[in-house]
Amino acid sequence: MAKHKNLFLLCALIILTVASSLVPLSLFPKGSLHIALQVLKGVLLTLSWGLFYYLINASVFERYKHIYKKDVPQIVLVITKFLIFVCGVLSIVVFVLGKSVLSIVALGGLVSAGLTFALGQLILDAFSGVILETESSFEVNDWIKTLDGAEGRIVKINWRTVVLETLNGCLIIVPHRKLAQGFTNYSKPKKSYWDGVEITLDHTVPVERAERILRAGVMGVANIHEKRCDVKAARADEGGITYEIVYMVPGLEMRRKVKHDVIEGVTRHLHDYNLKVSEALGEYILSKGHKPFQEESPLTVTNLIKKVDFFKGLKPSALKKLSENATRLVFGEGEKIVTEGEEGQSMFLIAEGIVEVSIAYKDNAGAKKEKDLFQLGFPEYFGEMALLLNEKRSATVKAVMNTVVYEISQDVLKSALKDNPTVFEKLVKQAIAKREKNKLTKIQMEKLKEKKTSSSKGLLANFKKFFK
């Protein structure tokens, strides 16, 4: 139906154009009738050009909206209207007033040259806007940064300029010609993007250990997008070794908060290892001081054990026994530390790095799958249930990054904790809570519910058997 309507209008347009432009007024005598016919001819020409614009809008612009799912650029509409207006005026001047088309074109060329010279920047902005709109390189609500450093969220796109709102709430008006030279779009192809900070540590801290501690500190920040981050040594000079920390930001509007949280989290994590902020090296520059680093000394392990929650309150003799007999192990990224279903005769304290706890299950089709439950980091622990209750490992634990753990065997734990009953009570509560996190399938949930009904007294009875 729409096609027939457009065809009818096209035929009407042709008839109006032919009738108004080709019929000479010289056939009619001069006088009131002659003037009336001139007016009629001008009206018909005006209607014909108006109808021509309607056809363009109905057949071209509407199809553009249907295909690209967005409005036609405002500058295209303005230029189209302007050209049709100019053509309409020229047709009236030529066919109604009888003026020479060559003189009009010559005059129009002079006027156009003058306007181009006077309004060159505006014209360049307009055509740059057309090119940018055609490329669809940005849209409203995108965060962009120009080559000269203007940065903000696009709140409005005009025919000549783009209006940006900065993180401070200020407005910046950027001409299209500036954007045509190049810009950064933080919102495309995805809203998230990489950002980073640099941290300098003392030379005495081994590079491998520094990268491990720094990355674990960043991984603890809640606002990191998809927990994606990386740490690499960037350069070394007299001030220390500088590490580049890169992390994924969910969006530019979150950049300040995420950077603040990263710096705070990394600083706090470094302080946990007695790596202190050094005022001498400048802002965000961190150092452990001038004392030589001895990673495997008994004192270092003792300080680690003191930070583990359920070991707090142990007697110095028990702490010493645990620290002297704990075994230091290093696991690479993705390497399994314990596997679900295996026999377990030891527990593990996380010294540096991050581990992922997962559990195996079967889906409705009976296929074996694995579900990541949660992550653990310094100074948390795992493996205590299999150790204390002589059960098989209830979950698989693997290193998310290069990770250092200290393994404590069953014999060492028996010897150290035998005279510390308060530690048992604390461990029982934490063990029950940990079991609840391992719910996954309905069958497993039922098993967990059955285990949940057993009182802490029953678990304490198992602990007593552990020491027999």
How big is the CA angle at 234 (ends 231 and 237), to the nearest 5 degrees?
Answer: 135
pLDDT in tens, 348-385: 999 999 999 988 887 777 788 888 888 999 888 898 87
Report how far residue 60's alpha carbon sits from residue 66's, in angstroms, rounded to the nearest whole number. Answer: 10
Closest Cα to residue 239, out of 274, 284, 208? 284
Per-residue confidence (pLDDT) for residue 10, from 0 to 100: 60
Residues 63 and 56: their CA atoms lie apart, in Å, by 10
- Mind listing the pLDDT tens digit for each residue in 299-308? 478 888 888 8
List, by residue range, all CATH 3.30.70.100 domains of the chain: 193-287
So what's the pLDDT on residue 31? 53
Could you confirm whether domain 193-287 is CATH 3.30.70.100? yes
Please list the ranges in the chain whose pLDDT falls under 70.
1-40, 42, 73-75, 93-127, 129-131, 133-135, 276-299, 388-389, 424, 428, 431-468
* Token code pair at residue 373: 């439950």
- What digits encode the pLDDT tens for the residues 87-113? 777 777 666 666 666 666 665 665 565
Superfamily of domain 298-466: Jelly Rolls (2.60.120.10)
- Domain span(s) for CATH 2.30.30.60 in the chain: 135-185
What is the per-residue pLDDT for 441? 43
Fold assignment, 135-185: SH3 type barrels. (2.30.30)
pLDDT, residue 15, reads 64
Query: How far from 379 is each of 183, 301, 307, 310, 465, CA to CA, in Å?
Result: 44, 12, 6, 11, 28
Q: What is the pLDDT of residue 66?
A: 76
Which residues belong to CATH 2.60.120.10 in the chain? Answer: 298-466
